[in-house]
Structure 1
Amino acid sequence: MSIEDIDDTTGPLTNTNTGTGTGTGTTDDLLRERAHAELAAARTRTAGLTDVVSDPDLTAQHSPLMSPLVWDLAHIGNQEELWLLRRVEGREAMRPEIDPLYDAFQHPRSERPSLPLLGPAEARRYAAEVRGRVLDLLERTPLEGTPLLDGGFAFGMIAQHEQQHDETMLITHQLRAGPPVLAAPDPDAPWDGAAGNGLPAPEVLVPGGVFTMGTSTEPWALDNERPAHPRETEPFFIDTVPVTNAAFQAFIEDGGYTEPRWWAAEGWEQVRRHGIGAPLFWHREGGQWLRRRFGVTEPVPPEEPVLHVSWYEADAWARWAGRRLPTEAEWEKAARYRPETGQSAGYPWGDADPTPDRANLGQRHLRPARAGSYPAGASALGVRQLIGDVWEWTASDFLPYPGFRAFPYREYSEVFFGPAHKVLRGGSFAVAPAACRGTFRNWDLPVRRQIFSGFRTARDV
């Protein structure tokens, strides 16, 4: 899902293993525990992103591309009330007069500061009151009987919606001027220096043939991930790691931003119109490339995956390198296909949930790990960092799968299908662990650069 264009839909939803109802609790008990934990984790993260700045910072618009942080805070509560208290429980609206203010389809982000929004204290009180009622509802509602309740979908949807806005708010923090207010340790995962050494990147052969794309069994999966269906690919090579800063710098030094032959026409127009000559937040000083990261200016680390590049920049780099972006189907096959069984796993490493040794997720760090990290998270074919670190642009437009059915409403995904949006896969360091899996589909406009986006490349056999 696009974290830039959609504010009232959910993001990726966790791979929920509901069990069989045996052991220490019933299926409903296990689902409630999971939903409660995810709701709590999301709210803790929301508080961490909003409590570290002053009220004027919360109400300010730090970029016309983003909402004021206080809008996200109240919108989180409003959507939780709408779907859980009104749609599931059948309550009357708590504050019907604010619904239009927090409807993302009514008000573009650039207009939201002019709206009569709830102030910081009032937004916190409103979100907290909604949450208290929701937790009571969770304790007494059967998690079955309707599509919204089956498998606890509605509660998982809302937990993930909040986590998606947390990622959006983290982007706002990156765009915010002023001293740093966020801190986190650097990634310390095992690292294969050879894998992240630049050009050419190591690659592996992905066999041709049919694999299962999408899902029909994950209870919290989004409509655009459904249904599971056979998809055939030709054999292809794909990078085992994302493209690094060092590799992207080689493109810059070779005049990549001055050569129209590498660029799609619309991308070249963007370069010329806006004077683009490097990834967003980079600048050159004294012969060295520096970047700004959450209020800190630092040398660009050569081994990290390149970050804050548009689809056009990713596509241009791939053409310059004699390669191409993988299609969405190729990306998912590289991530999920297990040649020993012919089956598709939930994640590159198998069906177990993400853990810190497998992927850089959940804002545990405020940067990608070096390319070549997380050997425990490699796919069966040996491709690393397909989950976490950076969102990866693909060559594909955002389109429905065969047999697609909109749920819970058309604006969830359907209205965004078409050539205007490109698909990104895999999540970033800003995506919650419970909110990322091998079938999740993100999408955004190809001009977007402020998102936590990078890429890897492929080539035909």
Structure 2
Amino acid sequence: MIQLDYLGYEPWPSPNNLLKDLERSAHVTQTIINKLDPGQEKVHLSPGLNPPHWEFGHLIWFHEFWVHRHGQQSNPSLFPDADELLNSSVISHDDRWQVQLPSLDILQNYFSEVMERTFTILRSGSLSPEQAYFIQLALYHEDMHNEAFAYMWQSLAYTWPLKQNLGSIEEQQNGFEPRYIKIPQSQLQLGSAPNTGFIFDNEKWQHAVLVPSFSISSHAVTNGEYLEFLKSLSDAGVSFIEHQPAYWKKEGDAWFERFFDQWLELDLKATVRHISAHNAEQYCLWKGVRLPTENELSLLMASPHADWLPSNLWEWTSSTFMPFKGFSADPYQDYSAPWFDGKHRVLKGWSSFTPNYLRRPQFRNFYLPSRSDFFCGFRTCLI
């Protein structure tokens, strides 16, 4: 049964602020899709990809379905057969390659019509709690798909069309050397509390957790540190190919990393990225350390940045993605519940492609531990 918790996710943002955020997100989406060269929308079937035009259509459908159709298929869509073609809950991943989509022009018109209807609501200057919740849900869903476009483009070696993200995404060094931070036994308020604004259902509800003392690295693992791991395998006569980051290559004695369509010389001080949890654990086994738990990483990320350095990557934990006690699904029931399968891992943090308002210590990301295509890294704890 769906709870009505979502109607109490106050304080609500102002309509004007929501309008600015939605206009920004829509601009990002349109820029990504419009800058595709002819034929680039046709991609090979892969677990980490969606057909780009299908993904574009899906995020429009999602927005219209929740904001303007009130989550009811009986309310007609502006786009015929939208529920059959674009609903990710009923169209399996592999079947998305078989969907007969309309032309890009038709999808773009659908996008413009749906967005303009929402812009009109926001320009009115008054929102009901239900409108405020569902517009935020649609906005954040679009933001997540824009980030998914980024790691899809990385996987496909496409040019990233947004100039603000063309540079290096490694962290600034902040002038202090990597070290382990000793954190004494602490009581952590894990999850989100009522009346703290929009949250996702897997954050419900905030509860006290006693976290034993631990020592955690101030910096995420760097390219140089990870390269030492690969070299140790090579020196031991062990093939390191399965542990090598997907977008690295070696030419002579030099290592390079691909960032979208550009091969750059490997920056040894930059944070290593595109590492699966499985490979992160192999590194930890070699180094004699371990991955942090969700509780430990949450505690670190809730502390001042003067003590630790964000990596601008989603960071793996050793914790399985599971519901907190008393979990109840919000209206979009497929956001969390299907993934409480004991297979997915919690990640904390954010990437350079995550909007600032989603960079919250309470936010719980989750992926299969075999995945490394998205922008992810890891830091370690002493055993």
| CA root-mean-square deviation | 2.8
Distance 2:237 2:128 in 1: 57
Which range is displaced more, 104-113 or 308-317? 104-113
Alignment partner, residue 135 of structure 2: 155
Distance 2:114 2:299 in 1: 41
**1:413–1:259 distance in 2 versus 1, CA, 3 Å:** farther
Q: For structure 1, which runs of at least 5 residues remain unmatched after alignment?
A: 1-15, 19-26, 196-200, 261-270, 337-347, 350-377
Q: Is residue 219–residue 308 contact of structure 2 (8 Å, CA) maintained in 1?
A: yes
Alignment partner, residue 202 of structure 2: 224
Q: Is residue 169–residue 312 contact of structure 2 (8 Å, CA) maintained in 1?
A: no
Alignment partner, residue 289 of structure 1: 255
1:191 aligns with 2:148: no
Distance 2:237 2:379 in 1: 21
1:114 aligns with 2:98: yes
Secondary structure at the counterpart of residue 315 of structure 2: strand
Which range is displaced more, 399-408 or 169-178? 169-178
Q: For structure 2, which runs of at least 5 residues remain unmatched after alignment?
A: 1-8
Aligned pairs (5 A) from 1:421-440: 421-440=344-363
1:398 aligns with 2:375: no
Distance 1:131 1:456 in 2: 40
Aligned pairs (5 A) from 1:32-431: 32-61=15-44, 63=46, 65-87=48-70, 92-140=76-124, 143-144=127-128, 148-149=130-131, 152-177=132-157, 183=163, 184-186=166-168, 191-192=173-174, 194-195=176-177, 201-216=178-193, 217-255=195-233, 276-336=242-302, 348-349=303-304, 378=305, 382-385=307-310, 389-431=312-354
Shift of 1:73: 1.3
Q: Is residue 63–residue 172 contact of structure 1 (8 Å, CA) maintained in 2?
A: no
Q: Is residue 257–residue 277 contact of structure 1 (8 Å, CA) maintained in 2?
A: no
Q: Which residue identity does 1:65 align to in structure 2?
A: G
Q: Is residue 76–residue 165 contact of structure 1 (8 Å, CA) maintained in 2?
A: yes
Distance 1:128 1:442 in 2: 29
Distance 2:297 2:160 in 1: 35
Shift of 1:413: 0.5
Shift of 1:139: 4.0
Q: Is residue 256–residue 317 contact of structure 1 (8 Å, CA) maintained in 2?
A: no
**1:43–1:257 distance in 2 versus 1, CA, 3 Å:** farther
CA distances 1:151-194 after superposition (whole Å, capped 9, x unpaired): x2211111111110001111111122466755434469753455
**1:312–1:88 distance in 2 versus 1, CA, 3 Å:** closer
Q: Which residue identity does 1:213 align to in structure 2?
A: L
Shift of 1:408: 1.7
**1:401–1:299 distance in 2 versus 1, CA, 3 Å:** same
**1:258–1:163 distance in 2 versus 1, CA, 3 Å:** farther
Q: Which residue identity does 1:76 align to in structure 2?
A: L
Secondary structure at the counterpart of residue 55 of structure 1: coil
Secondary structure at the counterpart of residue 50 of structure 2: coil
> How many aligned residue pairs are there?
372
Shift of 1:253: 0.4
